[in-house]
Amino acid sequence: MRGRIGRVALLIFQALWLNVILPGHTRGIITLPGTACADSGSGCCAKAKHSEPETPAKPNRRASACAVCFFAARLSTPDVVDLSPPPLGLIAVIDVPATESIPFTAISLAFDSRGPPAA
């Protein structure tokens, strides 16, 4: 019973996260920690006295430090494919079985199957 509830909860979370929250969030509303101090331009977290108007050429710093986008990018990392060959070495030693003698009889053929010599 517990496994079924967990699977249903995971499906509901994924459906909400991928279909509602991630596409509908506004970039930069929730920023990563430590970006507010970096935006002010000073050593401490105090606000600057005057702020420059944001130009279209300069990217929005709050949008580039969006915590939701950061979490979504780290949540769906691809699997690592390891194509390195395995280490070579001796796996096992197998005893060679003794050969059996096969009984046979010599058959003398009544004809020679070779053709005449080429001239």
Residues 54-84: pLDDT tens digits?
555 555 667 778 888 888 888 767 788 889 9
Do 74 and 32 touch, CB atoms closer than 8 A? no
Question: How far is CA 46 from its chain centroid?
Answer: 42
**Residue whose tokens read 């050969």:** 99
Q: What is the pTM of this model?
A: 0.37
Cβ-Cβ contacts under 8 Å for 16 (sequence gap 6 or more): none
pLDDT digits (tens, 9 = 90+) for 91-115: 889 888 888 887 878 877 776 667 7
Question: How far is CA 35 from its chain centroid?
Answer: 29
Beta bridge partners of 31: 66
**Alpha helices, H only, the chain:** 2-16, 22-24, 35-40, 61-64, 67-75
Amino acid identity of residue 53, one-letter, is P
